[in-house]
Structure 1
């Protein structure tokens, strides 16, 4: 399948969207809904009330951000903690507390791990990332990588939580294009290709393909 730069960033954005939806749904035992539209934006930002960011690097590189209002941050934190069995009376009740911010950072770390794994299985490309950093902020902050990417491609994806609170993830990547090295992928994996060798992961890739077809 041929890819242009725009097609590549859009498909990577869809993979990140799938990773975010699945990770948060599993962590909170609740429904997370992806908006049917991906937005092309000129830059990425940290936005109130809580912003969490992480740089990824390797065969492909860029910046991932998740922005949440106080209500949805508290919702995701409390639902994930309750699902793990912590008593409600022991949980933080203010989104500015360290427990909430740290919890969001850990969720973003899980999202990154899922997304990198899916990209590796789909494209054979590997990247790493630093520990995500979450902060409480009161105003918008423009984000960029210290060594500027050449014509970075930026996308924003919207979500809704089970309690109907909206939040967003933003993705900035180098201007890269993923091009298949072989016309027939079977030459890479044999007559019956299974890129991951893992039925669960292959099913996830099928879910992504259906998501791509529907958007």
Structure 2
């Protein structure tokens, strides 16, 4: 595990999880030009709640946000990740989903994770990855307003509400909706973990 001293040298934006045993592992699926708030808010929230977080990107190297914030620590290539290793998946928005939806490895990982039945969160443009992975048909979802036609065209039911839950999916429209989305996500995750859904 990276120490505080190491983090100070390597990456001053890296989250620091407490020394206790991890509660589980969460994957954040993203790429460069991710919306900074939509990435860093859940990244810190998950870590501070006691989860190990792997940031999965196309190249497995530093990921940079749309506004210039970057993270170098805990990033790995999507192709090297195994969906069975994670308790939850989160897909932030920005411009990153437009790259991910064209990557076979990103869609394969998302599809494989969906088959586990475990929790998937997405915000803003994040549902575009779910659309391209063929996971939206018959589902109630929300997203950034410009993505709404895509949700409908994919056979989903677009709901213009801050947070929409449908089975394993929890979606939100924009950064301002994320406190509500993450609060619900953490409650659901704790409940599923409490039911014995540990995948460390």
TM-score band by shorter chain is: under 0.3
Normalized against structure 1, the TM-score is what? Answer: 0.23
Structure with larger RCO (C-alpha < 8 A, sep 6+): 1
Larger relative strand fraction: 1
Normalized against structure 2, the TM-score is what? Answer: 0.24
